[in-house]
Amino acid sequence: MAIDSAVLVIGGGLAGLTSALAAARAGGDVRLVSAKQSTLRNASGLVDVLGYAPDGTGPLIDPFEAITSLPEGHPYRTVGVDAVREALALFDEVTDYCGGHTDRNALVPTHGGTVKPTARYPRGVAAGLASDDRDALLVGFESLLDFDAPLAADPLRAAGVPFGVRGVTVGFPGDLRADAKVTRYAKLLDVNDEVGANGRSRAARAALAAAVEPHLDGEPRVGFPAVLGDDRPGEVRRTLGEMLGVDVFEVPTGPPSLPGLRLEDALFAALDAAGASIETGNPVVDFEGEGRVEAVYVEKNGARIPYTADQYVLATGGLVGKGVESDREGVSEPVFDCHVPHPADRYDWFDEDAFGDHAFAGFGLRTDAQLRPLTAEGTVEFDNLRAAGAVLGGYDFPAEKSGSGVSLATGYAAGWAATQEAR
Partner 1 sequence: MSDADPSGSGADPDAGRGVEPTDPGADEGFEPVDVFPDSDDFDLRPGSDSCYKCSTCDTNCPVAEVDDDFPGPKFQGPEQWRLKQNEDDYGIDESVMDCSNCMRCDNACPAGVPLSQMHNTARGQYVSDEMSRFSRKYLRNRVLANYRLFARLGSKVPRLSNALLNNRAVQWLNERLLGITGEREFPSFAAETFREWWTARGGAAASREHAATARERRGEPRDADKRVAYFHGCYANYNTPEVARATVRVFEWFGYEVAVPEQGCSGTPMFANGMLGDARRHAETNVASLSALAERGYDAVASCTSCSMALRQEYPELFDIDGIEAAAAHTFEAVEYLRIHEDLRDAVADAEVDDDSAAEFVYHAPCHARNQGLARQSLELFRELDGVDIEDAGDSCSGISGTYGWKADKYETSMAIGEEMFDHMEAAAGETGMTECPTCAMQMEHGTGYEIRHPLELLEAALVDDG
Which CB, 181 or 292, lies closer to partner 1?
181
Which CB, 42 or 370, lies closer to partner 1?
42
Q: Residue 224 CB, nearest distance to partner 1 (Å)?
A: 18
Cα radius of gyration rounded to whole Å, the chain: 23
Binding region for partner 1 (CB under 8 A): 1-3, 33, 36-37, 39, 41-42, 174-177, 179-184, 187, 191, 231, 255-256, 261, 272, 277-282, 298, 300-303, 305-306, 328, 347, 352
Q: Residue 199 CB, nearest distance to partner 1 (Å)?
A: 18
| Cα(150)–Cα(112) distance, integer angstroms | 10
* Chain mean position to CA 335: 23
Q: Residue 342 CB, nearest distance to partner 1 (Å)?
A: 17
Which CB, 101 or 328, lies closer to partner 1?
328
Q: Residue 138 CB, nearest distance to partner 1 (Å)?
A: 22
Indicate the residue type of 350. F
Nearest to 148 by CA among 63, 85, 225: 225
Q: Residue 152 CB, nearest distance to partner 1 (Å)?
A: 20
| Cα(25)–Cα(271) distance, integer angstroms | 9
Termini Cα distance of the chain: 19
Q: Residue 211 CB, nearest distance to partner 1 (Å)?
A: 17
Backbone angles phi, psi at 106, to 5 degrees: -90, 155
Q: Is 162 exposed, middle or buried (0-12, 13-18, 19+ CB in 10 A)?
A: exposed
Q: Residue 301 CB, nearest distance to partner 1 (Å)?
A: 4
Which CB, 58 or 254, lies closer to partner 1?
254
Which CB, 71 or 196, lies closer to partner 1?
196
H-helix or E-strand spanning residue 339: none
Which CB, 34 or 95, lies closer to partner 1?
34
Question: How many CB atoms lie under 10 A from the CB of residue 217?
Answer: 10
Nearest to 138 by CA among 34, 220, 264, 223: 223
Which CB, 176 or 212, lies closer to partner 1?
176
Directed axis angle between helix 258-273 and helix 14-25, to 10°? 20
Contacts of 344-353 with C-beta under 8 Å, sequence gap 24+, read none
Which CB, 59 or 306, lies closer to partner 1?
306
Q: Residue 202 CB, nearest distance to partner 1 (Å)?
A: 17
Q: Is the dihedral of CA 365, 338, 324, 279 positive or negative?
A: positive
Rounding to the nearest 10 degrees, give the CA dihedral for residues 35, 36, 41, 47.
Answer: 10
Which CB, 129 or 228, lies closer to partner 1?
228
Q: Residue 44 CB, nearest distance to partner 1 (Å)?
A: 14
